[in-house]
Structure formats: structure tokens, C-alpha cells
Amino acid sequence: MKEIQKLFRPPLQALLSEKVGGRWDKLQEIRCRTNQQLELCFDDRTEWIEASLMEAADARFMLNQLSDFSLYALENELREGYITIAGGHRVGLSGQVNTEGGVVKALKHISSFNIRIAKARPGAASRIMSSLYKPDGTCHHTLIIGPPKSGKTTILRDIVRSLSTGWQQYKAMKTAVVDERSEIGGSINGIPQHDLGKRTDIMDACPKAEGLMMLIRSMSPDVIVADEIGSERDVQALLEALHAGVKIVCSVHGDSLDSIRHRPSLRPLFEQEVFERIVILKKGMSPGVVQAVLETASPAGANA
């Protein structure tokens, strides 16, 4: 976890290492707030480091480490409110927002950092893989639903690895990933740092709508994967992929099927009965706890 530890000045770095010890595999988040103690969110508990008051100098140091001393280079990321670092770890930011015409233009005076730790968990999707395949060896159009910290990306990453490598009697498929937030692959210079299988092609740090169409045109995938869909443009691109004969696997934030079925932006996907499998995750003691796998109708107008 060197890429995380180097975000802290030496005094806090030492306290963090001592407190976490050998529990990095159970650590989900490190929440850092100016003039407050560091908060550690493990799978089963939350702890604070008592002597770890984060000073303004610590916040400046962390921001400089995140931006490599060039905040201008991260202008877009700051506007979105998060930065993804090597290893696929996402650092959420909050502070004072500058707006123009109701649109966020910049985030400044950053006072809080939420370091979400990405972990590869090979086998995380093993319980559901058999239900994602058709008898002919292709995969079902699949939607993964889960609240924050339920392990959507963890499950999605392992699905990618399994589809791309081959699973039990099923052959490996050409798998394309649109990794807008660099969380699935944790790519550095376009090369995934997580194991995504031997037949995976990735479009890193690319908006989903554009990336979906680029990958279909350039890489002729059997299946295309995207994390955290939500906008109308995302949905339109998914429908285009469907009509191009490509299987789709994606995730969305939500507590239940009912919580997302009637969202205006997602409604076309349900009106056209796109998804054949819906995996619902619940927030549990560890990421990737499956609550249910729902079988739905075949997608309208698509037999591919």
C-alpha cells in the first residue's frame, strides 16, 4: 500500500502504519479531515487514530502528492470531486466549491479526503458466474445493483477476469472495459495493474458513452463492461452496444431494483427489457455480498 502511505507526511504515515498493522486487507477507507483525527473504516468496524490530528500542512502535502505538485493538471478531476491514483484507489475530495451558472467550475480549499482502497479479490464473483452464462457459452446482459461500499467494482472486476480468462467449461471471451474512473483496472499509463484476464482490452479514464462506442468500433468485443452507469448518454450508448450484438455487463448505485427501475435516465433499459440477469448486492461485513440474482426476460429485439 505504498501508493497510499506516501500521501501522508512522515508523522502521520508512521501512526497510520502502526494502527493498521497487518489489517490492510480489511481496510476499506481512510477518511482525513483537517483538524480532526484520521478515521479508519474496516470491513467490520470504524476506528480513529487518537494522536493523528490532521493539520492544514498535512492537507496541502496530500494534495501536492495527489497532483504531483500541479493542480492545474487535475482540473477536471477536481471538478468531479475525486482523483484516482495508482492501484485504482479513489480519493474523494470536499471543500469550497466555485460555481458559474449553477455549474461546478472548481473545488478549492479542500479540507476532507476520503481514500477508498481498491482490492483485487479473485473469486469474488464465483458464486454468481454460473448464472451469467448461457448454454451456448455467451453471457447474459447483466446489471449489478448495490449501495456504496457494497463491492460493485470488486464483483465487476472479477467478472471481467472470469469472462476474459474462461470459467470452468466456458471459453474465454473477448472482453472490453470502459474504466472511466480507473477503478476496475487501476491502470497506469493505460496498463491495468489488476488482473483482468488474458483477453481484456481497456479504455482507461474515458467517458463511458464515448468509450463504449470506441471499443465496439476498434476492438470487436464479445462483451463490454462499464462501472456506475447513470446518465442518459450512458444509457443511449449501452443501447447502441446492444443493437451491435455485443453483450453488456454494468453496475449502478441503488439499494434495490425498485430504487432504480423508475429513474428517468435508466427507464429505457427497463422499458426495452435489456437485462437478462440482475445481481443485487447488499452492504455487509465484507464487499461483494450477494443478496439475490434475478432472472428476467430476454432483451427485446436482441437475440445475439
> Domain residues for 48?
2-116
Asked if residue 170 belongs to a domain, the reply is: yes
- Please say whether the beta carbons of 109 and 63 come within 8 A: no
Same domain, 141 and 101: no
- Please say whether the beta carbons of 280 and 257 come within 8 A: yes
- Residue that terminates a domain, selected from 83, 116, 149: 116
Same domain, 151 and 170: yes
Which CATH number is 102's domain given?
A: 3.30.450.90
Asked if residue 302 belongs to a domain, the reply is: no
Largest CA distance in the chain: 61
Same domain, 137 and 101: no
Side-by-side strand order, sheet with 142-146: 200-204, 175-179, 223-226, 247-253, 142-146, 277-282, 289-295
- Residue that terminates a domain, selected from 81, 116, 151: 116
The whole-chain average pLDDT of the chain stands at 90
Asked if residue 300 belongs to a domain, the reply is: no
Which CATH number is 283's domain given?
A: 3.40.50.300
pTM of the model: 0.81
Report CA-CA distances (Å) from 113 to 55, 61, 109, 207.
Answer: 13, 12, 12, 24
Place of cell 488482473: 195
Q: What is the pLDDT of residues 153-209, one digit of tens each?
A: 999 999 999 999 999 999 999 999 999 988 899 887 888 989 999 999 999 989 999
Domain count, the chain: 2
- Residue that terminates a domain, selected from 56, 86, 116: 116
Place of cell 427507464: 267
Same domain, 134 and 157: yes
- CA angle 91/157/47 to nearest 5° reads 40
Whole-angstrom distance, CA of residue 30 vs CA of residue 48: 10
Asked if residue 301 belongs to a domain, the reply is: no
Q: How many other β-carbons are positioned within 10 Å of the β-carbon of residue 252?
A: 22
Sign of the CA dihedral running 235, 253, 197, 30: positive
Same domain, 135 and 207: yes
How sure is the predictor about 302, in pLDDT bands with cuts at 50, 70 and 90?
very low
